[in-house]
Amino acid sequence: MSYGVPQVVMIGKFDLGERPAIVAVIDEDPAENAKAAKWLGADVLELRLDLLDFSGLEEAKKTIERIKVNTGLPCIATNRVQSDGGKWQGSEDERIALLIDIMPFVDAVDIELSAEEELRHKVIEAAKARRATVIVSAHDLDDTPSLDDMKNTLNSAHEIGADIAKLAVMARTKQDVLNVLQATSEMEKPVCTIAMGQIGKHSRIVAPCYGSCLTYGAIARAVAPGQIKIHELRSALEILF
């Protein structure tokens, strides 16, 4: 039974055509927080490499292996650049290299639409070669673009190879939230959309009704404006889906 996602996309063994996935953002103490996320009702884990203090690739590999044994949940690798709301401190070449190096151990990778074209292409090609799901994301941390601009951004992400186009914008008005939902409903390929901020908080529950195939939740503290805790998302989505 489909809830409106235009085509089937998997993250690991999770079928996004069946229902939207609740993604738990792992930003510290990854092994313990991953277990907590599973207990709270998460379907997928997002490993925020820009927020996790791994000493090197070997530690990251062992931690991810431990997470998968303990939870059985698929993992997304994200190494968010500062201009898109992340905390990465190193060079862009180092950021991209870490994403590519970690790819054999995860099920999906998130790369920004704003990344330099050649480096972005390297990440997408490496993911496709390993049959990892590609999320191409865009963020407007200040405002909500026009409806047409949001649709163009989502389509651009798909054109360069995204399996899922992700767009997070800062909602200032109720109309901003409505425009995000309209953009979501008019997409022909899988998307994840978020209206950030207090006024858009409910979009994290409602957007899946319009076709957003992922919604991101917090284990304890929010890592994005308006983020809802995982168990609250689970309760709401169980009513809707």
For residue 225, give the amino acid letter: P
C-alpha 187/C-alpha 75 separation (Å) is 25
Say whether 139 is catalytic.
yes
Rounded alpha-carbon distances, angstroms, from residue 36 to 142, 234, 237:
32, 14, 19
Question: Of these residues, 38, 151, 158, 166, which one is catalytic?
Answer: 166
Q: How many helices (H) and strands (E) does the chain have?
A: 8, 11
Q: Could you give phi then psi for residue 10, rounded to 5 degrees?
A: -110, 145
> 58 Cβ partners below 8 Å, 6+ apart?
none
Q: 102: which 2 tokens? A: 């970690």
Question: 196 with 166: CB under 8 angstroms?
Answer: no
Question: Of these residues, 38, 68, 139, 189, which one is catalytic?
Answer: 139
What single string gives the DSSP state of each residue in 155-218? HHHHHTT-SEEEEEEE--SHHHHHHHHHHHHT-SS-EEEEEESGGGTTHHHHGGGGTB-EEEEE
Say whether 229 is catalytic.
no
Residue 47: name the closest of 121, 103, 125 by CA. Answer: 103
Question: 134 with 124: CB under 8 angstroms?
Answer: yes
Instruction: Give the catalytic positions in this structure.
Output: 139, 166
